[in-house]
Structure 1
Amino acid sequence: EFAGLFAPKPQGMNTANDWTKEMSTKGFPDLQKLYTTFGKKDNVLLVRGEHFPHNYNAVTRSAFYTFVNKHFKLGFPSPVIEKDYEPLTRDQLTVWDDKHPAPKAGDPEFERKLLKWFTEDAEKQLAAADPKVLREGIEVTIGRTYDKAGEVEWELKDKQDRGDHLEMTGTLTNKTHGEELNVDWLYPKKWNGRVVIWLDDAGKSGIQNDDVKKLIAGGSAVLGVDLLFQGGEPAKQNRIVANPREFAGYTYGYNNALFAQRTHDVLTLVSFLRNTKVGSHPSPKTVCVAAFGAQTGPIAVAALALAGEQVDLAALSTHGFRFGKVLDYRDPMFLPGGAKYRDLPGMLSLYDQKKRWVAGENEDRKPPAIDWLMK
């Protein structure tokens, strides 16, 4: 797919006895069809070399010299054969001297200093940047915006009368992204038009508590949800691809982290409440978020950074969480790039301070969270 984006410009590739050896039958024929569609079939080249181990040898180099010579009209005789040359000495090649000594190979202290410099340089730029820059960076990190949250449908599975409220269980289906959420509605018979999305580390079972009862008694509906991999055995680590080589990029270069996927789920909930009409039922006047778990608190912060004005009030606890302190890429809270944009405080800064009650960040927390949400 990435190679196809370059069409119809000239493009060459080669195979060897490695993971590229099936390219002649898987991938390259599709590229040929794409280039043919543009009328440029000769602009794409595959140099087959499965009889060689993984390399970029003289045979392959010659083929690419010839390919470049043709398309750039360099005028060299074809085929272009590499000439012998005298390699430069180590002293001639080096960029290091007494004033600029070479770092030690595999020096962890040098790596720390370099990364520290990268971080401090980026933080200076972010501190002076418009919030729009911060939001766009976080949108890329999470992999979805509120505007692209998707079209959501509600399916009722069960409905029970609980005295002062109705309990309705069902499924929210995000038709755009092919995702499903099991939800539990607690809907007071004297509804005041307010809905509180209750995010809990235990999933939708977490709505069975005294705080939720207080919200219902005050007229607020409460929506509990099982985010991805909630509702059963807690996810102790992120899924990783089946590759024996320990490298985070094999997983996160192609897949969203669990933290990002759960943030997508929250965006689905907000989008549903704001945009989906269910029969003759009136739409909510006020949408709130409550999240006090060690995992769901930070997830709520990420969602609020993206949903912005769509959420009227939010009460949550971050537990002082920082992406920069997550040391294992299998950790359920790991997020590639999570610390890049001023970490969790950067996300939190994008949601109006007047609309949030936050524990864990040295912010004013009076009155108690539930009373504050009911104001």
Structure 2
Amino acid sequence: MEPRRFVACLFALSLLVMSHQVVGQSTASELTTLDSHFPMQVPADKQAIEAQNEHVRTMLRLANGLIPMPELAEPSPVIYGRREMDGYSIEKIYFESLPGFYVTGNLYRPAKAADKAPIVLSAHGHWTDGRFYDAGDKAARAAIAMGAERFESAAHNVIQARCVQFARMGCVVLNWDMVGHADSQQISIDRIHGFRTQAAEIENTTDGWLLFSPQAESHLQSPMGLQTINTLQAVRVAQMLPGVDTSRIAMTGASGGGTQTFVAAAIQPAITAAFPAVMVSTGMQGGCTCENACYLRIDGGNIHIASCIAPRWLGMTAADDWTRTMPTDGFPELQRVYELFGAKNRVSLAPAIHFKHNYNHVSRVACYSMLNKAFGLGLQEPILESDFQRLTAEELTVWDDQHPAPPAGLDFERKLLKAWHQSTQRKLQQTLAVADDKGAGFRDVAGPAVEAMVGYGADEAVAKAEFDLASKQEDNGSLVMTGELTSAGEADKLPVYFNYPDQWNGNVTLVADVGGIAAVEKRLADPESEYAKLLASGTCIATCDLPAAEGDDEGTKQKLVRQDRLAACFTYGYNRALLLRRAKSLLTLAQFMRNHERTPKQIQMDGLGEAGPIVAVAGAVAGPLVDGCRIDRGDFRFQDVANIADANFVPGGARYLDLPGILALHAPRPLEVNGGAKGTFDATEAQYEKMGALGSLKIAEHKSADSQ
């Protein structure tokens, strides 16, 4: 194809032709935070909302470290210490979640249970001491005086109050501890919920790493992941308890327990009714480290997550807190979602804006009503609580001389995370060991996860970007254009550069350099450089200014949302890491060129120097956009990045067998890796061999001539 014809097409495609100077760096928009606004645009039809919900579920599984699911303990609940109470009984229960990591709680049963009773999973949230909570006499009297509670027992412990009432309604109840609360002390409350910072010399040692370390985050190990795994194991326990109707499993909780509820219900379809109190909103999304995880809310907030529960039963409350706007902003959208499923009667909101953040009797009555309808209990409404005998921490605790508490502390935390990491790596390695699947096993697990990390799926490969031309000029036998690309749905503009030789051969080399357009132009100015020779031979050279590292003046760090609590989840739970945004920029450029009406014969993507890992990630999800890649920095490993602000830090970057695993997703396309030691790319080689493409893989220990 003649280069001038291609230029004319590019020009015609532009919606706006602007005469301006393209600056040297592509800047990012302001960071999203947990206090940003998260409205939901409801799709037009059921098929569209189902597709959106499935994407949100993928992000939830990714964020919680569930792709692949780690090797869980086989839950064998220890249940003992039964007490007969007024209309119900209460027992102590504990079981393993991850091997060696225990879930602790109490089991309530109705005194007159049906053959198959519903079960309610009750997550307590951030009430001090959880199951052992005691509001104290002053707060209890105040709650009764303002009409929030009816009885002193409930006013002292709102968590016991609802468990007792559920049991009196004919339900089995499993009430378990958040990590760090009550009996769950293997990892302390200060670690899980109060984390602010930790010294680099302790967070990663020869014995293993700790939560919140760059290494833990690079493997998607988080407090939220631990609590979600605990919840999923609680569902498994519920399903194995005798006398439980497994078609009627409900979950409820308030505040942080509300977050646990809607996240678990979105993931686990066995939960047929969910009542997350005072948490679902378009406002503040959850302030604790246990309510946040990298990737969790990048593509949608709590309303989007709650939408995934449809068409199952969903009840919510609003109070004088961040949920106060729910009646007009959030709940109407959820009603429209349920309408698309033909189940508008299954979603409800009980606003009690005259109360502060709570799960008081007024709110609990709304939950009882929803469960009455959802489970066909046939009880007369309103369902009001009766008084009960409140048990103390000493009476509720599961640990005693016959049931000693398990190991705890930082040494245990390191061992837990090490075993957790090893189990996921084994699962991934096992997919590579399957001889006759032609690479499908590994790709089916790691591929969607890396696509979700980047925010780029196969459906986007056919999308068209808009090109705004800035300059066009003849330059020594070639035509040079600069301008900006804008992808559909993206606000940021990408500065781009195209250099077409007069005798274009139809091939394109897309060059990635962290120095951007200026660095590539400098290479082209040297007639002895590889890219100047490629241009002279008829290959088009294209590049772009990658998003800038704006965390410091040297361009080596990413911006973080906050410096007082250095947990990665507060930044990367709402914003993609810089390296991923840079990879997305390269994909936008490749997508624009590939989808033009004058399609190039071949697109090669080269990652020079520090851009090598960027092209590694971009190429892993590029699919048909590129025909082959060449990368430098084959010695780079995501697990070695020692700071969550580092420009190369990527949450989950090491989880999928690190750089060799990400490169395995390039198979069977041609791939050249420079600067990597032989024998360190087993995953890459295994995948290429399984796909019959080992001859398309080249690994060289030396650096490429143009990487300097």
**Matching residue of 2:654:** 339
Rounded Cα–Cα distance in structure 1 between residues aligned with 2:541 and 2:340: 54
Cα distance in structure 1, aligned partners of 2:419 and 2:630: 35
Q: Flag the 1:52–1:244 CA change in 2: closer, same or farther, 3 A.
A: farther
Distance across 2 between alignment mates of 1:356 and 1:310: 14
Matching residue of 2:362: 59
Aligned equivalent of 2:665, options 350, 359, 373: 350
Match status 1:189 vs 2:502: yes
In the TM superposition, residue 54 of structure 1 has moved relative to its aligned partner by 2.8
Instruction: Please report how far the alpha carbon of residue 115 of structure 1 lies from its aligned counterpart in structure 2 after TM superposition.
Output: 1.1
Mapping of 1:263-342 within 5 angstroms?
Answer: 263-277=583-597, 283-294=599-610, 296-308=611-623, 310-318=625-633, 320-342=635-657
In structure 1, the partner of 2:442 is 131
SS in structure 2 opposite 1:148? helix
How far apart, CA to CA, are the structure 2 residues paired with 1:307 and 1:38?
Answer: 34
Per the alignment, do residues 26 and 284 of structure 1 end up closer, same or farther by CA in structure 2, a change over 3 Å counting? closer
Q: Once the two structures are superposed, what CA deviation does each residue of 1:74-129 show, in whole Å capped at 9, x if it has no partner?
A: 1334332334145376476426867864233xx22222211111110000100111
> 349-358 or 263-272: which moved more?
349-358
Q: C-alpha separation between the residues in 2 aligned to 1:187 and 1:74?
A: 73
Asked whether 1:171 is paired with 2:474, we answer: no
Query: Is residue 46 from structure 1 mapped to residue 355 from structure 2 by the alignment?
Result: no
Give per-residue Cα distances to partners, 1:4-56, cap 9 Å, x unaligned.
44445432111233322232332234444655677755533323344444332
Matched, 1:198 2:518: no
SS in 1 for 2:504: coil
Contact 2:473 2:479 in 1 (8 A): yes
Confirm whether residue 81 of structure 1 aligns to residue 384 of structure 2.
Answer: yes
Q: Count the aligned residue pairs.
A: 363
In 1, distance between residues paired with 2:384 and 2:406? Answer: 36
What is the rounded CA distance, in whole Å, between the counterparts of 1:198 and 1:138 in structure 2? 22
Residue of 413, 432, 442 corresponding to 1:111: 413
Higher relative contact order (CA 8 A, sep 6+): 2
CA distance in 1: counterparts of 2:586 and 2:592, whole angstroms: 10
TM-score scaled by structure 2? 0.46
Which residue of structure 2 lines up, in the alignment, with residue 219 of structure 1?
538
1:299 CA displacement: 0.8
Aligned partners of 2:492 and 2:676: how far apart in 1?
Answer: 33
Corresponding residue SS for 2:541? strand
Which sections of structure 2, spanning at least 5 residues, go unmatched? 1-302, 432-440, 679-698
Partners of 2:632 and 2:704 within 8 A in 1: no
Q: Percent identity?
A: 36
Aligned to 1:19: 322
Unaligned runs of 5+ in 1: none
Name the counterpart of 2:471: 158
Shift of 1:217: 2.7
Post-superposition offset of 1:235? 4.8
8 A contact 1:308–1:350 mirrored in 2: no
Moved more, 168-177 or 83-92: 83-92
* Cα root mean square deviation, aligned: 3.3
Q: Comparing 242-251 with 213-222, which one deviates more in the overlay?
A: 242-251
What amino acid is aligned across from residue 81 of structure 1 in structure 2? L
Kindly provide the CA deviation profile for residues 264-314 of structure 1, in whole angstroms up to 9, marking residues without a partner as x.
111122222322125xxxx422211221232x2111001111124543332
Deviation at residue 192 of structure 1 after TM alignment: 3.0
What is the CA–CA distance in structure 1 between the aligned matches of 2:536 and 2:410, rounded to whole Å?
58
Q: Which residue of 2 aligns with 1:258?
A: 578
C-alpha offsets along residues 302-331 of structure 1, whole Å, 9 cap, x if unaligned?
111112454333222126322223344333
Partners in 1 of 2:363 and 2:349 — Cα distance? 10
Letter in 2 for 1:125: K
Moved more, 325-334 or 130-139: 325-334
Quote how far apart the aligned CAs of 1:346 are. 0.7
Q: Is the 8 A contact 2:638 2:648 kept in 1?
A: yes
Between the aligned partners of 2:460 and 2:555, the Cα distance in structure 1 is 26
Equivalent residue letter for 2:539:
S
Partners of 1:198 and 1:223 within 8 A in 2:
yes
Alpha-carbon separation, structure 2, partners of 1:37 and 1:354: 42
